[in-house]
Amino acid sequence: MSKPVCYSTKAFATPSATSPLSAAVIERRVPTATDVQIQILYCGVCHSDLHFARNEWHFTQYPAVPGHEIVGRVTAVGSGVKKFKVGDTVGVGCLVDSCRTCPECRSGLEQFCGGMVMTYGSMDKHLNRPTLGGYAQSIVVTEDFVLRMPANLDLAAAAPLLCAGITTYSPLRKWQVGPGHKVGIVGLGGLGHMGVKFARAFGARVVLFTTSPGKTADAQRLGAHEVVVSKDAAAMAAHAGSFDFILDTVSANHDVNAYLNLLKRDGHLVLVGAPEQPVAVAPFSLIFARRSFSGSLIGGLPETQEMLDFCGRHGITADIERIRMDQINTAYERMLKSDVKYRFVIDMATLA
């Protein structure tokens, strides 16, 4: 296959696991018949961006451009594009393509397709180099992986829905969390604060677990009925054996058994946080109460659109702190200190 025609766009990239991100110029393909070209207006900053930029998952190729909470405006469409036109407000999340034919793709679960192409760090089928993410002025994506943004939502605050939103919405829906359920959310960061909002919107009783006592009032404002500081052993013990479901969003190593032991018989703990190190599970945390421990990865395209439409109907967005592109390295350091309220979003106009 010959290389498609490309154009240049400004971006922020990192050349190695130990370098800060800095200004770069990257190539995007000129839209093919089925592509949508998007001017990126805002891009959320996910903790996965940091794990990836620093090669904590051991698959990063450099130079790397993170960013998979992308919202923007359509600037061009290919001749065969049916769903979008120039000027539309759209989103792109963690996926930009998949095989389209396997059982996962046919079920709308493209995130589990063996041939799925992530927005950054996958092999780009067109350019034969790793895909480059949304810390950039523009991106070109096949129309089937472009999402429609609800018109009533603030665009900057809606950007984090594309990853933090769907990653928490999907497991809460899969496990049918709702009225009568006691639900725990572990960690009040980007994912955790969306988890609190969704669990509350679905009608559950919501308990937020945090290592940061200073986040208690915010957690209540965001929708938690109760807040437990996880370092407080007595407060943890008071909840033993009482939860139907717990969603663990923690980005660093921690003792997951402390949360498994809070589940009722047949309760579920779902891990979405992806720390670098393996997680140790004590067998007795599971077998004594027939508890289950599983994971969840973002969500497929149909469910992501469903989540966006749900947020449009219910006026749900992220609580964000807008940053300039050149503040990204400081933002990463603050993220490592759990000092995010509750998602950084890059104003891409600052890259001009």
22, burial (CB in 10 Å: exposed 0-12, middle 13-18, buried 19+): middle
Q: How far apart are CA 163 and CA 195, in angstroms?
A: 12
Does 199 bind ligand NAP (CB under 6 A)? Our answer is no
> Which uninterrupted H or E stretch holds 165?
helix 164-174
Q: Smallest distance, Å, CB 188 to ligand NAP?
A: 4
Q: Min. distance of Cβ 224 from ligand NAP in angstroms?
A: 11
Q: Which does 105 bind (CB under 5 to 8 A by kind): ligand NAP, Zn ion, none?
A: Zn ion
Does position 148 interact with ligand NAP (CB under 6 A)? The reply is: no
In the bound state, the residue with its beta carbon closest to ligand NAP is 189
Task: Please choose, out of 47-55, 80-88, 313-321, 341-349, the segment that lies near Zn ion by the rule CB under 5 A.
Answer: 47-55
Indicate the SS3 state at residue 248.
strand
**CA separation for the pair 50, 302 (Å, rounded):** 27
Q: What stretch of H or E contains 257? A: helix 257-260
Residue 99, contacted partner among Zn ion, ligand NAP, none, CB below 5-8 A by kind: Zn ion
Q: How far is the CB of 344 from ligand NAP (least distance, A)?
A: 9
Token pair of 54 as six digits: 């620093």
Q: Minimal distance in Å, beta carbon 333 to ligand NAP?
A: 11
326 — phi, psi (to 5°)?
Answer: -75, 5
250 binds ligand NAP (CB under 6 A): yes
Task: Look at the block and give the residue holding tokens 């572990």.
Answer: 186
Asked if 262 interacts with ligand NAP (CB under 6 A), we say no
According to the binding rule CB under 6 A, does residue 270 interact with ligand NAP? no
Q: For residue 225, give both structure tokens.
A: 């009925």
Contacts of 74 (CB under 8 A, 6+ apart): 36, 37, 38, 39, 84, 85, 86, 87, 88, 89, 90
CA pair distance 199, 56, nearest whole angstrom: 30
Residue whose CB is less far from Zn ion, 98 or 230? 98
Backbone phi, psi, residue 160, to 5°: -65, -15
Pick out residues in 323-342 that bind ligand NAP (CB under 6 A): 335, 338, 340
The contact mask relative to Zn ion for 262-291 (x = CB under 5 A, - = no) is ------------------------------
First to last CA, the chain: 33
Query: For 264, what's the count of Cα atoms within 13 Å in the CB-facing half-sphere?
Result: 10
Please choose which of ligand NAP, Zn ion, none residue 252 contacts, taking the beta carbon within 5 to 8 angstroms, the exact cut-off set by kind: ligand NAP
Query: Residue 59, class by beta-carbon neighbours within 10 Å (0-12 exposed, 13-18 middle, 19+ buried)?
Result: exposed
Among 63, 67, 134, 187, the residue binding ligand NAP under the rule CB under 6 A is 187
- The amino acid at residue 280 is A
272 binds ligand NAP per the rule CB under 6 A: yes
Least Cβ distance, residue 35 to ligand NAP (angstroms): 25
The nearer residue to Zn ion, 130 or 267, going by C-beta atoms, is 130
Which of 223, 267, 273, 312 is in the footprint of ligand NAP by CB under 6 A?
Answer: 273
- Could you say which of Zn ion, ligand NAP, none residue 205 binds, taking C-beta under 5 to 8 angstroms by partner kind? none
CA distance 225 to 227: 7
**Distance from C-alpha of 41 to C-alpha of 310, rounded to nearest angstrom:** 22
Q: Does 346 bind Zn ion (CB under 5 A)?
A: no
| Sites of contact with ligand NAP (CB under 6 A) | 46-48, 51, 163-164, 167, 187-192, 210-212, 215, 249-252, 254, 272-275, 296-298, 335, 338, 340
| Sites of contact with Zn ion (CB under 5 A) | 46, 48, 98-99, 102, 105, 113, 163
